[in-house]
Amino acid sequence: MKTLILEEPGKLTLGSTTEPDATLQPGEALVKVHRIGVCGTDIHAYNGKQPFFSYPRILGHELGVEVVAVAPDVTNVAPGDRCAVEPYLNCGKCIACRRGKGNCCTSLKVLGVHTDGGHRERIVVPAAKLHSSKKLTLEQLALVETLGIGAHAVDRAQIEAGETALVIGTGPIGLAVIQFAQAAGAKVIAMDVNDARLAFCRDTLGVAHTVNATTPDVVAELETLTNGDLPTAVFDATGNPRSMMASFNYPAHGGRLIFVGLFQGDVTFNDPNFHKRELTLMGSRNARSTDFPRIIELIETGKVDTTPWITHRASFDAVPEEFPKWVKPETGVLKAIIEL
């Protein structure tokens, strides 16, 4: 079957791999991949900057799929169902899993990152990782995982109605954080270096205030927007070390700083500044299983609109030619979708 293989940084080729074994093990499902979202993780992997990664690798973890067959013991999905895939393969036994945090399992494997993913025509996955919808399109289902990362980050921060949240980085993950912070009742400020993305936040998502991160005095601008208080919750979704280290200056005293993005390296900060504010620092990794059906329902009921997100599309065969363009900021990619 046709398969896209990231052989090494900068080298994505269209090749072939063997069909999945038709004999399914208990709990397994065979699915046909129809839509694949491209995210920052894929771009970082292509550029050779993705942590926890090795080559060659079959990318693809934002998947809209159709169930082809299931093992006899599977009851949650059936052939013909359209599903989003929860790509987090956790052990179910470690301390994190036992406490309901399979998203940060001690031996977690994410499809398309630690193990081969969905850049191929068919794939076998645990049926428990499939979340079906009779209403959503396959394209919408491919976006559920991205939205889940934003939803989980907002849940981690325990956002309360009326507080001010700063979201740094307005790529797909940052946009997902914005939408769920708004849904929680926060007053959102968006920050980025890209004026076009900030305009998207204002015009499409209804964000009242935006800040260009190249502003000479970001702290002063944030103080102006918050009547001198600064934001009580700051989400950094950039995966950029300079941004992440600068973000320690932005939360209010007693506030929270949530790192949604990550990079290969160390984060350093000024301890007196951190201590005097009594900041709470959090990492937010992936999403939980319970986020998927919740997000599907929000899209089905129109409370979350995925329509504006997709800016680029390509057929599966065209991806080796198109992908190198998508990694360039000047291309203006917000969310690219691969169609099979």
- % of the chain beyond a pLDDT of 90: 89
For 114-156, write each residue's pLDDT tens digit. Answer: 999 999 999 999 999 999 999 999 999 999 999 999 999 999 9
* Residue 274 predicted with pLDDT over 90: yes
128 close to 74: Cβ distance less than 8 angstroms: no
* Residue 305 predicted with pLDDT over 90: no
Mark whether 114 and 218 lie in a shared domain. Answer: no
**Angle in degrees, CA 1, 139, 287, rounded to 5:** 95
Compute the average pLDDT of residues 52-77. Answer: 96
| Domain-embedded: residue 55 | yes
Domain boundary among 283, 300, 320: 283
Mark whether 134 and 7 lie in a shared domain. Answer: yes
Q: Name the DSSP letter for residue 155.
A: H
| pLDDT band at residue 8 under the 50/70/90 scheme | very high
CATH number at residue 73: 3.90.180.10
pLDDT given at position 104: 95
* Residue 331 predicted with pLDDT over 90: no
**Angle in degrees, CA 8, 11, 14, rounded to 5:** 115
189 close to 209: Cβ distance less than 8 angstroms: yes
Mark whether 132 and 238 lie in a shared domain. Answer: no
* Residue 303 predicted with pLDDT over 90: no
pLDDT given at position 223: 98
pLDDT given at position 264: 85
Beta strands 187-192 and 164-168 are parallel
Q: Which residue has the tokens 């009326």?
A: 162
- State which residues form the domain around 326: 2-143+310-339
Q: How far is the CA of 300 from the CAs of 182, 260, 288, in angstroms?
A: 18, 26, 19
**Angle in degrees, CA 147, 125, 8, rounded to 5:** 75
* Residue 49 predicted with pLDDT over 90: no
For 74-97, write each residue's pLDDT tens digit. Answer: 999 999 999 999 999 999 999 999
Mark whether 23 and 78 lie in a shared domain. Answer: yes
Residues in contact with 102: Cβ distance below 8 Å, sequence separation at least 6, in sequence order: 88, 90, 92, 96, 108, 288, 289
Compute the average pLDDT of residues 176-189. Answer: 95
User: How many other CB atoms are there within 10 angstroms of residue 152's CB atom?
Assistant: 22
Q: Name the DSSP letter for residue 149.
A: H
User: Which tokens sit at 321?
Assistant: 């030619």
Q: Which residue has the tokens 């937010």?
A: 284
Q: How many domains does the chain have?
A: 2
Mark whether 264 and 195 lie in a shared domain. Answer: yes
pLDDT given at position 151: 96
Among left, alpha and beta (phi > 0; psi -120 to 50; other), residue 44 is alpha
Compute the average pLDDT of residues 287-293. Answer: 95
Q: How far is the CA of 320 from the CAs of 14, 37, 46, 331, in angstroms?
A: 7, 15, 11, 16
Mark whether 35 and 132 lie in a shared domain. Answer: yes
CA distance 7 to 143: 26
User: Going along the chain, which residue ranges are E strands?
Assistant: 2-8, 11-16, 28-38, 62-70, 82-85, 88-89, 109-110, 122-126, 130-132, 164-168, 187-192, 209-212, 233-236, 256-259, 280-283, 312-315, 336-339
| pLDDT band at residue 21 under the 50/70/90 scheme | confident
Give the three-class secondary structure for 101.
coil
Mark whether 60 and 178 lie in a shared domain. Answer: no
CATH number at residue 223: 3.40.50.720
Mark whether 252 and 180 lie in a shared domain. Answer: yes
| Domain-embedded: residue 263 | yes
* Residue 52 predicted with pLDDT over 90: no
pLDDT given at position 60: 96
pLDDT given at position 211: 98
**Angle in degrees, CA 51, 177, 145, rounded to 5:** 60
Mark whether 161 and 201 lie in a shared domain. Answer: yes
The dihedral formed by the CA atoms of 12, 18, 24 and 28, expressed in degrees to the nearest 10 = 0
Mark whether 243 and 322 lie in a shared domain. Answer: no
H or E, element range at 242: helix 241-246
With 0-12 / 13-18 / 19 or more C-beta atoms within 10 angstroms meaning exposed / middle / buried, residue 336 is: buried
Q: What's the residue count for the chain?
A: 340
DSSP string, 264-328: SS-----HHHHHHTT-EEEE--S--TTHHHHHHHHHHTTSS--GGG--EEEEGGGHHHHHHHHTS
| pLDDT band at residue 329 under the 50/70/90 scheme | confident
| Domain-embedded: residue 178 | yes
Average pLDDT over all residues of the chain:
95
* Residue 330 predicted with pLDDT over 90: no
pLDDT given at position 118: 97
Name the residue with higher pLDDT: 305 or 256.
Answer: 256
| Domain-embedded: residue 81 | yes
| Domain-embedded: residue 17 | yes
* Residue 309 predicted with pLDDT over 90: no
205 close to 305: Cβ distance less than 8 angstroms: no
DSSP string, 119-144: SBSEEEEEGGGEEE-SSS-HHHHHTH
- % of the chain beyond a pLDDT of 70: 100
Mark whether 129 and 23 lie in a shared domain. Answer: yes
For 225-263, write each residue's pLDDT tens digit. Answer: 999 999 999 999 999 999 999 999 999 999 999 999 988
Mark whether 250 and 334 lie in a shared domain. Answer: no
